Amino acid sequence: MAKAKYERRKPHVNVGTIGHVDHGKTTLTSALTKVAADKGMAKFISYDEVAKASESQGRRDPT
């Protein structure tokens, strides 16, 4: 039996942040998820969760 065709219902956006140490990359990422969550487009991810994800992926700088 063949799989049902996947239909994308929401647009997907990948955003990368590049910047110097302590220039607000983690704060910006958390703020973007807050705005998207307020519009019902994404789940809010707190600053601490974003920083924890950076650390768990072996990043030197969690900010």
Q: Which two tokens stand for residue 31?
A: 């703020």
Question: Which of 41-44's residues contact partners 24+ apart within 8 Å by CB, and which partners?
Answer: 41/10
| Residue extents of the structural domains in the chain | 25-56
Q: What is the pTM of this model?
A: 0.64
Name the strand (E) or helix (H) holding 63: none
> Residue 22 has what DSSP assignment?
T
**Alpha carbons 53 and 45: distance in angstroms, whole number:** 10
Query: How many alpha carbons fall within 13 Å on the CB side of residue 60?
Result: 3
Residue-wise pLDDT tens digits, 3-60: 888 888 877 888 888 999 889 999 999 999 999 999 998 899 999 998 888 777 666 5
